[in-house]
Copies of this chain bind each other. A is one copy, B any other.
Amino acid sequence: MGNMKDKTAIMGVGCTKFGELWEKDTEDLIVDAAFEAMDDAGVTPDDIEATWVGNLYDFTGLSGGVAAEPLKLFGKPTTRVENFCASGMDAFRNACFAVASGAYDVVLACGVEKLMDVGGSGLPVDMGHPVFRGASAPGMFALAATRSFHEHGWTREDLAHVAVKNHKNGALHPKAHFRRPITVETAVNAPMIAWPLGRFDACGMSDGAAALVITRPEIAKQSKHKHDYALTKANALTMNAFLPMYRASYDWLSFPATEAAARQAYEEAGIENPVEEIDLAEVHDCFTITELLNIQDLGFCERGEGAKFVREGHADVDGKIAVNPSGGLKCFGHPIGATGCRMLCEVTKQIQGRADGAQVKNARLGLGHNLGGPGSVCSVTILGLPE
């Protein structure tokens, strides 16, 4: 396996407001995100040679065309990439491979989902596997929470601190869906979804799209882009046991796919001490319990210490490592295909010192973490600045 460090560069990023966007369809969202990204990069559709679109719910049946047509990218390849809830970051990954191979100079990676139009829980109604029938995302992640409660003595208040932190951040972000601070009391007293996960432990249902213009560093250097470009320091994707949650041997205390992807990414980027070296992380907080497990799986603290790490403020914007300074999935919702790309837009802007919401001071190195499957696939991407 080869090292992809510094082989690709992000020239520009774009992201729609996330929310219940009834007045926008998939094509509108792609156009909004992609043109913002192209404008940010100082390029036009003429410069884009190929496109990748991350999307889970293929409700149009036309996912390639859904980007090629409205963006007027006629004659140019557009590929739909699907990888469960990590579809967005895998679209970015495949776009990076194409650029690094030399096949194209400038490409677009987008993610989009009109989740409101699906009307579901964020999981397909019937995923084919018998154990899935009747299962829901909150129900499955609740089992991880009860296990950590039992093993580590965590409580609903511990979960609430994650929600409070992310809502504090999201309230400052103009593109977030949910933009109000909450208290621990609000979170703890909220209606229950699947015990111990209440309304404020789950991310919302949202629509959205995000896009990135990708090139090679030598091209980014010479371009008339308005901002410093960002470099891909690592781009790891792993696929662990399919549905680890349904294996008898699964201990419910971590997501092995994240641990593996983090190991690969840190090795690729040459990172020895992630919590010291990385300034911020946009992690997959589909539920508050997921963020606590992510923090551990990514090596920001020891197993069992996740709740304490957040309670003590180490994950705050001015903490040891800012976790979800955007407000995360908690405040943006999780329009599936969009999420991974949105995270990378956020990380790019943070390390360039132009975050839309709360800016992490002196951020130089950031991490995006996209989990899917549920739990079987994980993508970890690390972005940094050129020297």
Contact = CB atoms under 8 A, between A and B. Distances in A.
Nearest to A80: B82
B127 A61 contact: yes
Nearest to A60: B128
A94 interface: yes
Contacts of A83: 64, 78-80
Which has the most chain B C-beta neighbours within 10 Å: A62, A96, A124? A62
A65 B83 CA distance: 9
Interface stretch (A187-195, A232-240, A349-357, A363-371): A232-240
Contact of A75 (B97, B98, B103, B238): B238
Contacts of A96: 101
Contacts of A377: 64-65, 77-78
Interface in A125-151: 126-129
B77 A64 contact: no
Interface in A209-255: 237-243
B1 A103 contact: yes
A98 B124 CA distance: 29
A119 interface: no
A101 B4 contact: yes
Contact of A128 (B59, B73, B105, B260): B59
A338 interface: no
A360 interface: no
Contact of A4 (B61, B94, B97, B103): B103
Contact of A239 (B74, B84, B243): B74
What are the nearest 9 A-B pairs in CB distance?
A60-B128, A65-B242, A100-B101, A2-B102, A69-B242, A77-B237, A61-B124, A61-B127, A101-B101
